[in-house]
Amino acid sequence: MLKKFRPITPGTRQLILPMNEELTRKADGTRATVKPQKSLLLPKRRTNGRDNHGHITCRHRGGGHKRHYRVIDFKRDKENIPARVASIEYDPNRSAYIALLNYADGEKRYIIAPQGLKQGDTVQTSDQPPFSVGCCMRLKFMPLGATIHNIEMKPGKGAQLVRSAGLSAQLMARSDGYATIRMPSGEVRLINENCRATFGAVSNPEHNLRVEGKAGRIRWKGIRPTVRGTAMNPVDHPHGGGEGRHKGNIPQTPWALFTKGLRTRSLKKSTKFIVKDRRKK
């Protein structure tokens, strides 16, 4: 659920933020959320978009609030051991919520929280039913038509696909050791049926509806301002200069490479596992 703020200050005039009602609160009656599990936190060193030479390779990065990295279990390799969901928590490093699992053997791990998963639920990694939200299973044992997320590309490597807020894929078919998956982009591709995936869709589906309301909130996230090319001089950008305002010429980057529609996928990459391209209707 979203909260639209009353315009009592300029920064709240357009502000729309999620209410985060799914998150687990402290038991003391306040609205404060539970603190993260300290054993699963790591320091997060920021690069601010610079490489090992100190050169900026990704523009518009820098500043922002300090963060801790939450260690997420993308492999889900504890088989046949039930785990109870201890809490649903916020993670500043990703758009989805995360869930803290307390396994029956005493171990604790974070996973990406799917929609509908609540505190107190039980999940596990197994090749047997139930096919409930949050349970992890190899693709060859899943029922056809299942809604899934956190999909591996190589068996045992850990989930790499469908991890952002609100996303889900669909298991369409299986044959010759491969599963046919319809991705959120519309692409249909083959994935080894021994790869694991998790049932359900990723949590926080309203993430794309939030409106930050002011430039300062973007700076808190570590994103610096972006200047339009048409507002620059000719020496600074291919779109720069000219008499009066204009909408720009052929869309180009500051280094005169064509953009906005130009395909950038490497020709060295194989397309044999892509059944249907996401651009084809």
Nearest to 185 by CA among 278, 274, 96, 280: 278
Sign of CA dihedral 157, 160, 165, 170: negative
Residues in the chain: 281
pTM of the model: 0.92
The pLDDT of residue 27 is 86
| DSSP 3-state percent helix, strand, coil across the chain (nearest 5) | 5, 30, 65
- The burial of 103, by beta-carbon neighbours within 10 Å (0-12 exposed, 13-18 middle, 19 or more buried), is given as middle
- The predicted-structure confidence for 151-201, as pLDDT tens digits, reads as follows 999 999 999 999 999 999 999 999 999 999 999 999 999 999 999 999 999
Dihedral of the alpha carbons of 37, 212, 96, 148, in degrees to the nearest 10: 170
The pLDDT of residue 281 is 67
Separation between Cα atoms, residue 223 and residue 34, nearest integer Å? 27
The pLDDT of residue 1 is 87
Cis omega (within 30 of 0) for bond into 130: yes
Asked if 140 contacts 173 with a C-beta cutoff of 8 angstroms, the reply is no
For 150, residues 6+ apart whose C-beta sits below 8 A from its C-beta are 74, 76, 111, 112, 136, 159, 161, 162, 163, 196, 197, 198, 202
* Tens digit of pLDDT at every position of the chain (281 positions): 899 999 999 999 999 999 999 999 998 878 899 999 999 999 999 999 999 999 999 999 999 999 999 999 999 999 999 999 999 999 999 999 999 999 999 999 999 999 999 999 999 999 998 899 999 999 999 999 999 999 999 999 999 999 999 999 999 999 999 999 999 999 999 999 999 999 999 999 999 999 999 999 999 999 999 999 999 999 999 999 988 888 767 899 999 999 998 988 899 999 999 999 998 86
Going from N- to C-terminal start, the domains of the chain cover: 2-209+266-276
Q: Considering only the top CATH level, what class is 2-209+266-276?
A: mainly beta
